[in-house]
Structure 1
């Protein structure tokens, strides 16, 4: 097999470097628009709740300019139909064997070969749902925690600019500290 041909099938956005941007008040409104669109697109599959999470949902926090969302669904059973529906709205499905997080199904919204949003689709009752909400809410209400997280993210983004997986893993200690205090 010719690996160079295989490599060309991997989308450009899969190798995007990590860039932390200054807080943008427009992220809130982009989150609202994405949530509203996803509520409409996914309502046929029983989705009743879509949340804007992640750093772009926290006022005054530096972040990658990617709107992170999550949706709760009664069952992951109709995944193929969901992926078809989302694909026509610029969402790309990342299979679990690539995502390596079996508790969710992951989608990336892309425009001009750049990520603009992420969607974590989770079965109702998934414990990580509550953890993500708790983390977001603690940072929204505690500016010291938000500032500390911003500094950690900026440092890690420089250190792991081309390695999203290590960047994400390196934030785990801080996230666990926030969740368990």
Structure 2
């Protein structure tokens, strides 16, 4: 259990409840806007590609209203200058020891103490890059998969309302199934 004084240093957005919203066509345009802004901010660090991924990138799919993006960098050697640059634009770096995903470097964009976007920064050649794009395309091409995923997401959002990591882990089996087929 954490000490009370340690909890005071944890930002409010770190423990937001999982709340799914109905699909919103605005998400597509927010994704484009965030993607363009990130490309502008990160191209000096060797970033050649930024993609809007996740549920907000899939039409007709309920989602947490957080735009997920991924970008690839040649290496993580420049992570400190990248974090400094992004911090000037409301992005918060979540270090790997907290994120517990060694294959990426994770950033959260925050406005008014609420998450508005996530950035999954990956090294070039990371296999999850291609998997993200394949999953995205399979759902965009198959309304039945979107419907099935929506049901799973609603059920898990209730079950893991206060546990983001649990919610994400519980969706993994569906994602693996889609990628296998």
Query: TM-score of the superposition, structure 1-length normalised?
Result: 0.98
Aligned residues: 180
Q: Give the superposition deviation at 1:130.
A: 0.3
Supply the distance in 1 between the matched residues of 2:36 and 2:165 (Cα, whole angstroms): 29
Partner of 2:100: 100
Following superposition, the deviation at residue 5 of structure 1 comes to 1.4
Distance in 2, matches of 1:13 and 1:4, equals 17
Distance 1:39 1:168 in 2: 26
1:180 maps to what in 2?
A: 180
Partner residue in 1 for 2:115:
115
Matches within 5 A, 1:118-137: 118-137=118-137
Determine the C-alpha separation between the residues in 1 that align with 2:141 and 2:58: 9
Q: Secondary structure at the match of 1:171?
A: helix
Kindly state the Cα deviation for residue 4 of structure 1 after the two structures are TM-superposed: 1.3
Mapping for residues 141-180 of structure 1, pairs under 5 Å: 141-180=141-180
- In the alignment, does 2:169 pair up with 1:140? no
What's the CA shift for 1:3? 1.9
TM-score, normalising length from structure 2?
Answer: 0.98
Please, what is the CA RMSD of the aligned residues? 0.8
Q: Structure 2: 5+ residue runs without aligned partners?
A: none
Once the 2 structures are TM-superposed, how far is the Cα of residue 172 of structure 1 from its aligned partner? Answer: 0.8
Quote the residue 2:22 is aligned against.
Answer: 22
